[in-house]
Amino acid sequence: MAETVFTPALEGMKHVKSEQGDMLTKPFLEVCKQILPVIDKFGAAMALVKSDIGGNITRLENKYLSDPAQFNHLYSMVQVEIEAKTAKSSSSCTNGLLWLTRAMDFLVELFRNLVDHPDWAMSQACTDSYSKTLKKWHGWLASSSFTIAMKLAPDRNKFMDVIGGKGDINADIEKFCTTFPPLLEENHKFLASVGLDDLKAS
């Protein structure tokens, strides 16, 4: 089976939920980590996004490693912070999970654009997905930085060749864009149920 850069993440998604249907911390974070090499291929245009995602993965992973049994389920970290009244802190794991999920929403939307709009330049695909996902949560400064970074977006055809490897890249992107969103949506639903899905960037 020929692989693309998405293959490890697609494989990992099969293990994100327990048999009881609970979101598991380590497998979810592993899937997010496996997206990082894809982001690398964007070069400088995605440097901000990559450092943001990497930072949030590390924050959640450190919490998980502090007590793997207690934090086996992803949402247990949020519950602990709600009880301690620290969930809304900018350095909380709740905040980390929220922004990690939003960044993944952005990437799903971006790859969906690349498949659905073969005539779009990369910068248009990026800007459109940004306006549909992250933009409403960003302040002026983050939004301006992002807009400038998008001007560094790589050539679309070269990018698709690089991420394609020897596999069927369009088929893998389709799979990524159908398999990952329900998991992300579950995170949003949980965060919304505890009133924490609408925090904005400080």
Domain count of the fold of the chain: 1
* Whole-structure pTM value: 0.94
Per residue in 108-153, pLDDT (tens digit) is 999 999 999 999 999 999 999 999 998 899 888 778 888 888 888 8
Q: How far apart are CA 103 and CA 122, in angstroms?
A: 17
Token pair listed for 168:
């069927």
Q: DSSP label at 45? A: G
Name the β-bridge partners of 73.
Answer: 24
CATH number of the domain where residue 116 is located: 1.10.3520.10
Per residue in 42-54, pLDDT (tens digit) is 888 888 889 999 9
Mean pLDDT of the chain: 92
Residue 200 covered by a domain? no
pLDDT at 1: 53
Closest-CA residue to 197 (of 10, 186, 21): 186
Residue 202 covered by a domain? no
Domain that holds residue 137: 6-191
Counting residues of the chain whose pLDDT is more than 90, the rounded percentage is 71
pLDDT at 116: 95
Q: For 3, list phi and psi in degrees, rounded to 5.
A: -105, 155
Q: For 166, list phi and psi in degrees, rounded to 5.
A: -110, 5
pLDDT at 127: 92
Q: How far apart are CA 5 and CA 178, in angstroms?
A: 16
Strands (E), 66-187: none
pLDDT at 162 over 90: no
